[in-house]
């Protein structure tokens, strides 16, 4: 790790500051509502999820979810057509999950979304899977790395709730 909290290859920080969920102003109210409803759906299906999870390739998953069997889902939230059209990085998430979904509001024109992903329609109160995502099983080593990242991030965020004055950067005390 470098002093700046990035890996030697200049990738994203392994961990973010300890908070319940990152609040960096990048998420619109619509995106936060979609995330909330999608999170409720995931819990009802037996998944736990974390928002804004940095991945080893420098990208950040909107939601990363894990089942009790270790299946990993990434949900990419799109709050508008402009948001979708400006985003060309979504295929890079597939290397870090077993299934990749888009989550959108009910009014979103679903026909423009790629058919090779799953589709979730959500509002702030709940969500529904409209199209199941095809499965692309992760290799064991990648699964372990993603699960460790997920577990450490969840633990650090929980610690941040217990001790809001704690400053953690790149998984270490700052």
Instruction: Return the structure tokens found at 102.
Output: 């888009």
Share in percent of the chain as helix, strand, coil (round to 5): 30, 25, 45
DSSP 81: H
Report yes or no on 68 lying in a domain: yes
Report yes or no on 59 lying in a domain: yes
Q: How many CA atoms lie within 13 A of 71 on its CB side?
A: 14
Quick: pLDDT tens for 92-109: 999 999 999 999 999 999
CATH code of the domain in which 63 resides: 3.40.1350
**Is the overall model pTM greater than 0.75, yes or no?**
yes
Report yes or no on 83 lying in a domain: yes
Containing structural domain, residue 123: 29-138
> What's the CA gap between 112 and 30, in Å, rounded?
19
Quick: pLDDT tens for 153-168: 999 999 988 988 887 7
> What's the CA gap between 73 and 102, in Å, rounded?
11
């Amino acid at each position: 790790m470098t002093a700046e909290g990035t890996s030697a290859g200049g990738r994203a920080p392994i961990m973010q500051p300890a908070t319940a969920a990152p609040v960096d102003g990048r998420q619109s109210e619509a995106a936060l509502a979609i995330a909330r409803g999608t999170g409720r759906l995931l819990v009802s299906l037996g998944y736990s999820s974390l928002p804004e999870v940095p991945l080893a390739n420098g990208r950040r998953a909107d939601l990363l979810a894990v089942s009790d069997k270790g299946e990993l889902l990434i949900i990419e939230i799109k709050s508008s057509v402009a948001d979708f059209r400006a985003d060309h990085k979504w295929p890079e998430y597939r290397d870090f999950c077993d299934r990749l979904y888009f989550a959108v509001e009910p009014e979103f024109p679903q026909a423009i979304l790629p058919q090779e992903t799953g589709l979730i329609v959500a509002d702030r109160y709940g969500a529904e899977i409209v199209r199941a995502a095809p499965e692309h099983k992760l290799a064991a080593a990648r699964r372990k790395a993603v699960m460790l990242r997920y577990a450490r991030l969840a633990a650090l965020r929980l610690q941040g709730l217990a001790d809001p004055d704690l400053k953690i950067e790149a998984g270490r005390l700052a």
